[in-house]
Structure 1
């Protein structure tokens, strides 16, 4: 058990403040003012008469400059200030102010020849960079040697004025009026000591001391020791006792802690202990934390499952300048396996390694060059499904690992990329194949892009002239490809893709038009044998394949229709004005020249481009609210023409640099939007690319809804709808669906809502899918994938709330009528410690049927004991 570096630093700050400030500001200032002040400066005529031989009178309050002409020192006392030789004496209500620091005492004596200072009676130090509040009954020290002794010391570091934890008067500190603070908000430590001995500039001994983060005078916990020693950056204590609710619980023969608040110290972390059902048993874990430098650290450890064996884990972290960082995680299980009742031996061991990194080259230059790694290696999906604590990760079957370098400058982007896709995709299998190995292993698909060079551009004016109305852009790439799936593996395939486009945008009678013309040339070093029978294994041929297509398009955007409603009804219901906008849009696209669609091997969306002759039309309606209480903010925005934005600009673990900011319109807010769109296909077979009786994946479906709907030639797509509602800052609602007008059913329907009001929060989501499947159980194509799941979340409280908090969530498979997972968590926080307990249930078929019990006990600024990690909590 260690104690707070802040508290020990508080001792150092207290002594340092008193020594340095009194010496360099206060006392030198007194020497500068050793002569009588001029008439009329802070004195009366009666104060000029000496009281005795050798005594010179001084005013009750005087401001003198410091030796370095810096911050002036103000000395105040009720009684007159006197000097006898080199000895200065101040009595009654002595207050010394310099900058934001204040020293108070009843009596102060200073010998300017020896540097000795004696202070007695309610000695108190407040203020400073870390908001020190330190009190002692008396003290004596030498400002020249920086040594001394202080008695009956107590105080705090980091608490603002008037805080609930600030010590009150009397021998025992007590709570002052103020808001109650709880353990999870970074409370500083409060401390006390019978004697504090200063042995040098950075060496101290605290005798009979205690440290806590709790409200005084009845702290929930304290750490007592006969001697706390501070030598430079490290503090240590021997024979310390940890007390909880005044009950001694733990004896610690030796503890250490860094004094510098920016420093970290290597050591053992608090062990984790718990129990988990589902063939895991009792869980015991321990980790070691190693500091590798100011910006790097390493955590590694092991967890023992009584019924399964040992699991290893490790995390490396590095934070550099700007957005630069490296995070690497590793976990593994050496599973000894289990045999369920009436079942067969099962081994769920595996390894999972994750690397995320980013490095910006010359981030201040106009050109942006970034190196990125976002990679994961998973040896077994069953391992992650059975042992991860995150449900979404447990059911995720897609892993994309990417390494790339990109340079952006003047609208040009050049990149070098290598990636690996790993996923579970059901594939037809013969009986022999199914019996030969793991069904999961037999359905894995792996796709490589190694390497890939790409050059893309934004729109550029042709010829560079401002008068030109012709713009152009380019999308080109060259790379190596490989695909592995059950019973089929390609050779290394090279691909070159060049896709230039020119456009002439213009406005005609309120219509914004963008006609465009493009050509695409794609060449492969390998191809697929055609014709082929759907459902059979593809056959690769050594012959190359080249395709050239011609693309023409027209985007049409009419003028936006809008109307503002400002009536008593809108004022009463919406609290202000309501603006309604209607944004129609249409686009036409024609592609020709792809006459052998089946001859292309499949690696990504570039390989599913087909002939098409299509028209997309849609309309988006929006409602904007301008509330009356936003009037002041609106006027300010109009004056500056700067939107209100929040951007912490802090790095995170997203190496691709996705923004963590949210920008809001300052003149109004959108509280409702609804987009409807559909496509009409004049070529219902897409140049012969559509095969009857199977699911067809084409670029036209991927770019529209993401849900496959082509099982035969058809002239219309499903109707897509995207509804967003945000009536207030406390309520969000969203409903996205695809409705197949040909079949008369919803192919997908997703509903999400979130409510939060004060300490109460709730969430609900529903996801439904009824779309063409890849294969059914016997490998026959044209099956239907039915998916219907619901998620619920409700709770009261938050991690920093004092008192009781409770939350629960669940995932329900409506098709099966069963829970996939459910959990209930409750916690109770005192002012400096808290306890949380959770029951969690996973029910993921034969792989995982596990009840788990988790808990933790947290002490402010000390640590957490238990197996309920912060990332797994519901709050």
Structure 2
């Protein structure tokens, strides 16, 4: 045995020439390098102790594993194995001749890469040419060049493994790609796919980090659709979508950008990959520069945003196969833009102290806005588009507050004086609902809109009085069978807020762009009570087990200063609480109600709001659920509720959720959607792992989407198969997806990692 500070060489017999520094080893030769961690065994070898060069025969060895931590990548802690007929060591390199490499445990590896020559630098990389990938000794594919990272920086340019699959809508799917590590700061990936029934597709990604405070990510997906024939018409549903996200710091500003582009909603519906995309009918973009001044007391923003809401599916290309006529449908969408908005605000500053402390804050903005929308709801191309043009809006809102405290009671009076100037407004803004129309919606709203001349100036005064009662507490000893620890604390919190806002007498003339524009007069009191349960574990850590909040508002001005038309009254309802659509119905959205619940409920004058209940239960780390509901005392029923629950125990996991809306369909379309999911295993667990889920529309009585995935992981690779079914509008599609994962290397196949459960 010969040992130095860098390596250890041992064998049954070693002959050493001190003049040439060559050692000749025979029988159970073992070489280990302490710095790189590589180990090598051979039948016999010749090795230079000075230059660390040599030759080894009948070789096998290991190099420490490089574990990739990217989401969706199968990992293993097994070392990198290699075998060869003979090997050369030149400095820190091994040249393997007629051998193979693998991450699988020997002597029966699941997979191997075989090649005439491997060039390996332990802790850095392995390269081979004319490589054959074998799975259980069966040749699967040939690689002209194979590169395997073994070091801290695994990025290296090269071709990506191919992907295959099948879809009842697209036909057979085949594709391949290339990854280019441009330099340390930039890389890009391009993946081309071909759908046998629809045409070529491209996925492209470009990432960069030019400096310590700047990075960006660009993703593009496009399909050149050959079209689908329905009846006597050819419909082309292809298009392009991309997203650009970026952040930076410049001139003391912090900048953020999230820009999204979509050619048409039908493209997203037809070609999006995941279930959440085709049901998302919005396409929003936002960018801003923000700077704080004077220890974050003041904030200045330059913001731009674009909100695009699709009302219906329209086709940008239709061809009559008999006449050859080509038609294009106009997009049915609502677009709201701020280009740009300058915002300056100051947070609360105490300007007086003593027995009457006073805090002052303010908000202000100057914006250029525009809005376009269809004037009538249709199931296809809109008949008429109303456009506001560019509207300038200047808004100023100083805010003053004080606080009184007495034996746990807290009283906080505050007043806000608002002033808003608009360069344009409505001269006419009226919506009529008619039952039984042909728009695809039983309410069929038709809006009459026209712009007036001249500026509109809105001023308001908003007084609030917030009362918070002292919390009531009591400590209990919970039953042992609940396993909640030794002590439970029950806390009850109650508060009430009175608000009187006046001065807004032109609500119907204001064009709605954002929350600033739905401000209305109100005279109301909002009261709430919260019950909380806390537990303490044996280590003294406190966690909230239950939180249940109930809130309601009482409106002393049922018309909100005329925002709700007083003469029309409310919609008529039958004995089941279902609205009977008629021209007297209204749909009004004001800020006072939106701050209570996101589900709008104003279809006419009313003096009391629904009771808003929010229950969150998390008694154990492996189980929890939430239930949120709005109960309308005027309709004597729950008008909307959302439930979600999750549970996980060991290798088992499950979830269930439901969203149901039964309010007036003029306010919100009625719905009842239920989802279930379950799983056994995890992404890196050896053996069989299964998962499945379903989204069900209870009103329509049909499945919207379901999936089932099965995977099997060995010590060094994994196999996954997934079956999906889409039943969403025009999307009727069955997909059969497969992927094969090689631990610490990557995955190939049509089952993309961002859509995998395992």
Shared fold by TM > 0.5?
A: yes
Match of 2:58 among 140, 144, 152: 152
Match of 1:407 among 291, 308, 320: 291
Corresponding residue number in structure 1 for 2:394: 496
Q: Which has the higher helix share?
A: 1
Which sections of structure 1, spanning at least 5 residues, go unmatched? 1-93, 161-181, 363-367, 428-435, 635-666, 774-781
Residues 1:679 and 2:585 are matched in the alignment: no
How far 1:130 moved relative to its partner? 5.5
Residues 1:843 and 2:727 are matched in the alignment: yes
Residues 1:552 and 2:458 are matched in the alignment: no
Distance in structure 2 (CA, Å) of the matches to 1:825 and 1:235: 33
Report the 3-state secondary structure (helix = DSSP H, G, I; strand = E; otherwise coil) of the residue aligned with 2:670.
strand
How far 1:106 moved relative to its partner? 4.6
Corresponding residue number in structure 2 for 1:384: 268
Corresponding residue number in structure 2 for 1:423: 309
Distance in structure 2 (CA, Å) of the matches to 1:559 and 1:136: 79
- 1:519-558 Cα shifts (integer Å, max 9, x gaps): 0010111111057565433111231111110111111111
How far 1:859 moved relative to its partner? 2.3
Aligned residue runs from structure 1 range 693-732, under 5 A:
693-732=585-624
**CA separation of 1:492/1:730 partners in 2, compared to 1, >3 Å: closer, same or farther?**
same
How far 1:244 moved relative to its partner? 1.9
Distance in structure 1 (CA, Å) of the matches to 2:34 and 2:558: 77
Distance in structure 1 (CA, Å) of the matches to 2:150 and 2:609: 67
**CA separation of 1:784/1:513 partners in 2, compared to 1, >3 Å: closer, same or farther?**
closer
Corresponding residue number in structure 2 for 1:228: 118
Distance in structure 1 (CA, Å) of the matches to 2:494 and 2:327: 54
**CA separation of 1:784/1:252 partners in 2, compared to 1, >3 Å: closer, same or farther?**
closer
Contact 1:131 1:159 in 2 (8 A): no
Distance in structure 2 (CA, Å) of the matches to 1:234 and 1:753: 46
Match of 2:86 among 171, 192, 195: 195
Corresponding residue number in structure 2 for 1:214: 104
How far 1:807 moved relative to its partner? 1.2
**CA separation of 1:211/1:703 partners in 2, compared to 1, >3 Å: closer, same or farther?**
same
Corresponding residue number in structure 1 for 2:648: 756
Corresponding residue number in structure 1 for 2:697: 813
Distance in structure 1 (CA, Å) of the matches to 2:234 and 2:240: 20
**CA separation of 1:705/1:147 partners in 2, compared to 1, >3 Å: closer, same or farther?**
same
TM-score computed with the length of structure 2 as normaliser: 0.86
Match of 1:141 among 47, 55, 58: 47
**CA separation of 1:555/1:117 partners in 2, compared to 1, >3 Å: closer, same or farther?**
farther
Contact 1:570 1:577 in 2 (8 A): no
Match of 2:475 among 564, 577, 582: 564
How far 1:112 moved relative to its partner? 5.6
How far 1:122 moved relative to its partner? 3.5
How far 1:339 moved relative to its partner? 1.2
Aligned residue runs from structure 1 range 446-465, under 5 A:
446-462=335-351
Residues 1:869 and 2:752 are matched in the alignment: yes
TM-score computed with the length of structure 1 as normaliser: 0.75
Distance in structure 1 (CA, Å) of the matches to 2:499 and 2:676: 42
- 1:452-476 Cα shifts (integer Å, max 9, x gaps): 011123211116x799721111111
Match of 2:407 among 509, 514, 532: 509
Q: Please tell me the root mean square deviation across aligned C-alpha atoms, in Å.
A: 2.8
How far 1:593 moved relative to its partner? 0.5
**CA separation of 1:531/1:833 partners in 2, compared to 1, >3 Å: closer, same or farther?**
closer
Corresponding residue number in structure 2 for 1:356: 245
**CA separation of 1:526/1:533 partners in 2, compared to 1, >3 Å: closer, same or farther?**
same
How far 1:113 moved relative to its partner? 5.0
**CA separation of 1:752/1:531 partners in 2, compared to 1, >3 Å: closer, same or farther?**
closer
Distance in structure 2 (CA, Å) of the matches to 1:787 and 1:613: 32
Residues 1:292 and 2:182 are matched in the alignment: yes
Distance in structure 1 (CA, Å) of the matches to 2:146 and 2:397: 66
Residues 1:338 and 2:338 are matched in the alignment: no
Contact 1:804 1:826 in 2 (8 A): yes
How far 1:601 moved relative to its partner? 1.1
Question: Mean Cα displacement is larger for which, 692-701 or 119-128?
Answer: 119-128
**CA separation of 1:468/1:104 partners in 2, compared to 1, >3 Å: closer, same or farther?**
farther
Aligned residue runs from structure 1 range 175-186, under 5 A:
184-185=75-76
Residues 1:124 and 2:30 are matched in the alignment: yes
Report the 3-state secondary structure (helix = DSSP H, G, I; strand = E; otherwise coil) of the residue aligned with 1:831.
coil
Corresponding residue number in structure 1 for 2:207: 317
Residues 1:689 and 2:563 are matched in the alignment: yes
Match of 2:191 among 294, 301, 315: 301
Contact 1:183 1:830 in 2 (8 A): no
May I ask how many residue pairs the two structures share in their alignment?
Answer: 697
How far 1:288 moved relative to its partner? 1.5
Corresponding residue number in structure 2 for 1:852: 735
Corresponding residue number in structure 2 for 1:57: none
How far 1:212 moved relative to its partner? 0.7
Distance in structure 1 (CA, Å) of the matches to 2:487 and 2:460: 51
- 1:180-206 Cα shifts (integer Å, max 9, x gaps): xx954364421123322234x355422
How far 1:209 moved relative to its partner? 2.2
Aligned residue runs from structure 1 range 615-634, under 5 A:
615-627=525-537, 630=538, 633-634=539-540
Distance in structure 2 (CA, Å) of the matches to 1:129 and 1:356: 41
How far 1:143 moved relative to its partner? 4.5
How far 1:120 moved relative to its partner? 4.7
Distance in structure 1 (CA, Å) of the matches to 2:35 and 2:638: 62
Contact 2:709 2:757 in 1 (8 A): yes
Contact 1:132 1:159 in 2 (8 A): no
Report the 3-state secondary structure (helix = DSSP H, G, I; strand = E; otherwise coil) of the residue aligned with 1:607.
helix
Contact 1:187 1:861 in 2 (8 A): no
Distance in structure 1 (CA, Å) of the matches to 2:562 and 2:501: 13
Distance in structure 1 (CA, Å) of the matches to 2:718 and 2:45: 38
How far 1:865 moved relative to its partner? 2.8
Residues 1:608 and 2:500 are matched in the alignment: no
How far 1:227 moved relative to its partner? 2.0
Contact 1:461 1:468 in 2 (8 A): no
**CA separation of 1:598/1:227 partners in 2, compared to 1, >3 Å: closer, same or farther?**
same
- 1:258-282 Cα shifts (integer Å, max 9, x gaps): 665514222221111111003x111
How far 1:720 moved relative to its partner? 0.4
Match of 1:275 among 163, 166, 173: 166
Match of 2:634 among 742, 764, 773: 742
Report the 3-state secondary structure (helix = DSSP H, G, I; strand = E; otherwise coil) of the residue aligned with 1:676.
strand
Distance in structure 2 (CA, Å) of the matches to 1:835 and 1:466: 71
Match of 2:253 among 350, 369, 373: 369
**CA separation of 1:670/1:335 partners in 2, compared to 1, >3 Å: closer, same or farther?**
same
Contact 1:695 1:772 in 2 (8 A): no
**CA separation of 1:669/1:129 partners in 2, compared to 1, >3 Å: closer, same or farther?**
farther
Contact 2:640 2:660 in 1 (8 A): yes
How far 1:361 moved relative to its partner? 4.8
Q: Which has the larger radius of gyration?
A: 1
Corresponding residue number in structure 1 for 2:498: 588
**CA separation of 1:469/1:120 partners in 2, compared to 1, >3 Å: closer, same or farther?**
farther
Distance in structure 1 (CA, Å) of the matches to 2:180 and 2:547: 51
Report the 3-state secondary structure (helix = DSSP H, G, I; strand = E; otherwise coil) of the residue aligned with 1:700.
helix
Contact 1:186 1:860 in 2 (8 A): no
Contact 2:429 2:447 in 1 (8 A): no
**CA separation of 1:770/1:134 partners in 2, compared to 1, >3 Å: closer, same or farther?**
same
How far 1:482 moved relative to its partner? 0.6
Distance in structure 2 (CA, Å) of the matches to 1:203 and 1:495: 68
Aligned residue runs from structure 1 range 765-844, under 5 A:
765-773=657-665, 782=666, 785-844=669-728
Contact 1:768 1:789 in 2 (8 A): yes
